Amino acid sequence: MNIDSLSARSTRRTLPSLLFKYLLPRSLAFAATLAIAACAIGPDYRRPSVQIPESFKQGVDWQRAQANPQGSLSSNWWTLYHDDELSQLIERSMKANQSIVAAEAAYRVSLAIVEANRANLFPIVTAGVSATRGNAFAGGTSSSIAGAGRSSLTSGSSGVVNNVLASASASWEIDLWGAIRRQIEAAKTSAQATDAQLAGARLSIASSVAIDYFELRQADIDIRLLKEQQDINSRILDMTRAAYAQGEASNDNVLAAQDTLELVIATLQSTEAAREQDEHAIAVLVGVPPGDFSVAVEPAYAFVVPNVPLGLPSQLLERRYDVVSAERTAASANEQIGAAEAAFFPTLTLSAEGGFQHNTFANLFSLPNRLWTLGPDLAATIFDGGARLAVVHETRATYDENVALYRNTVLSAFQSVEDSLSSVNHLRQQTHAFADIYDRNQQLFESERAQLQAGAASEQDLLTEQLTLLQAQQNLNDTQALLTQGSVALIRNLGGGWQSDDAAAQAAGGRHMASASTPDTPATSPPPH
């Protein structure tokens, strides 16, 4: 196509089509050539080394008993307790808890930051149209308007001048040294850290609901047993007072019986207050005002303690949300080093601008009225008083700090699991001991009742033995409750079934859901007397 034919058809061409057809493709080709040869400045990231034990110290018996030591928890771990009401409460909290809502919003913010950084890889294209009209006076030689020779005024003349400009421009900073790519990777790893924090928020809320729920059920059982003790102590006090009136008991016996009764009453009040507060806590966790929420009393609740697949210590690096978050934060800090070091190198910006300018809009889009510029801009900072070097020092120090925090998080993770294993191991032994005590007290109570029927024991002796039996049952139930709560803490410290690659697996179409390797076993629960 020659110049004349192009001029004849110029009025039918739009400004953006001219710019992209003639100017921008050449810039893109040149930039692509440079990008192929571009390199990324800065250190490549490697996960910081940490010391990992081969096995958990307090989990020797657990690991020996597991049929599948590689087994992992289900992310719906609360179903292991076989309590529909607990499952419903946790599922409600996953949808309505405001801490989870805030964590989800923070994750969306981090994803938006990734997109914003990725946009820096592409050119910025702008377009605009402007029109001006004004009075002009030329006092000397002839002059042109807007440097385009559209209209001129002779010496000493004045008049009204029109100027119409339609233009489009493109600017593209080539990522020669990888600064933009480093920023993108930093934003992506930071988003992964935020994703792990979101998983941590969900796990924390779910475990808090479970622990508060089991504390509430423990209070249900204790309140029932304490009320039974209160009734028995009231009867013993009446008997003691009657014996005192007949001269068969001293006033000290009456005072001691009163103290025993009042102590049970005081314990009952604190237990009822604890149950109410647990109910309030659960209400907040599921996003409901405490005044509009209640959990029905279940005084004969039976606690279930699932067999938790322990896995290997090395798996904590992928299953603990705080460990993953700390490691991803360190990775993000490493990318920031490269972005800071790239500031020492020159920047190359490709720019192109084109348009049309005339004193009337009707004649604007014609070939003689076009204007354009195209060219690279290479710029470098010669002296900044050490500002860039200070930024590099800052990013390296931040990386070292995050590496130290990551290693400390790993150590803390191992400690929390060991603590949970220690607690659960000893609570299991305590449960067995209190179960034996309860069984023996049942035998003693039956023996005392037989003696009463044979006339060899008094009713007060039988009531005293019944009190001992109720207290043994309370000790057993309290230990079972603590053991159940300890199993929740162990599940939480093992990561709650979450995996660091869950998000990637979900994006690929299948969320990783590993099932527990062993069946659940209910804790021994004595029948109510």
Q: What share of the chain is helix, strand, coil (3-state, %, to 5)?
A: 65, 10, 25
Residues 6 or more apart whose CB falls under 8 angstroms from that of 258 comprise: 237
The upper half-sphere exposure of residue 516, i.e. CA atoms within 13 Å in the direction of its Cβ, equals 20
CB 465 within 8 A of CB 450: no
What is the domain class of 38-121+175-345+380-522 according to CATH? mainly alpha
Instruction: Please tell me whether residue 49 adopts helix, strand or coil conformation.
Output: coil
Closest CA to 216 of 299, 290, 284: 299
CB 23 within 8 A of CB 374: yes
Q: Report how far residue 329's alpha carbon sits from residue 334's, in angstroms, rounded to the nearest whole number.
A: 9
CB 476 within 8 A of CB 431: yes
Q: Report how far residue 418's alpha carbon sits from residue 430's, in angstroms, rounded to the nearest whole number.
A: 18
Q: Is the pTM of this model over 0.75?
A: yes
User: Counting Cβ atoms within 10 Å, is residue 485 exposed (0-12), middle (13-18) or buried (19+)?
Assistant: buried
Closest CA to 425 of 38, 94, 64, 51: 64
**C-alpha torsion sign, points 182, 183, 188, 194:** positive
Both tokens assigned to 6:
């192009």
Closest CA to 499 of 489, 514, 520: 514
Residues 6 or more apart whose CB falls under 8 angstroms from that of 440 comprise: none
> Which amino acid makes up residue 323?
V
**Element spanning 12, H or E:** none
Both tokens assigned to 331:
């990775």
Q: Report how far residue 44's alpha carbon sits from residue 178's, in angstroms, rounded to the nearest whole number.
A: 12
Tens-digit pLDDT string for the chain (529 aa): 443 443 434 444 444 444 445 444 555 555 554 454 457 788 999 999 998 887 787 665 554 444 344 456 678 999 999 999 999 999 999 999 999 999 999 999 999 999 999 999 999 999 988 888 887 655 544 443 333 334 444 444 457 888 888 889 988 888 888 899 999 999 999 999 999 999 999 999 999 999 999 999 999 999 999 999 999 999 999 999 999 999 989 999 999 999 999 999 999 999 999 999 999 999 999 999 999 999 999 999 999 999 888 777 888 888 889 999 999 999 999 999 999 999 899 988 888 888 888 777 777 777 777 888 888 888 888 888 999 999 999 999 999 999 999 999 999 999 999 999 999 999 999 999 999 999 999 999 999 999 988 888 889 999 999 999 999 999 999 999 999 999 999 999 999 888 766 544 443 433 333 333 333 433 434 433 3
Both tokens assigned to 430:
């305590």
Q: Report how far residue 488's alpha carbon sits from residue 483's, in angstroms, rounded to the nearest whole number.
A: 9
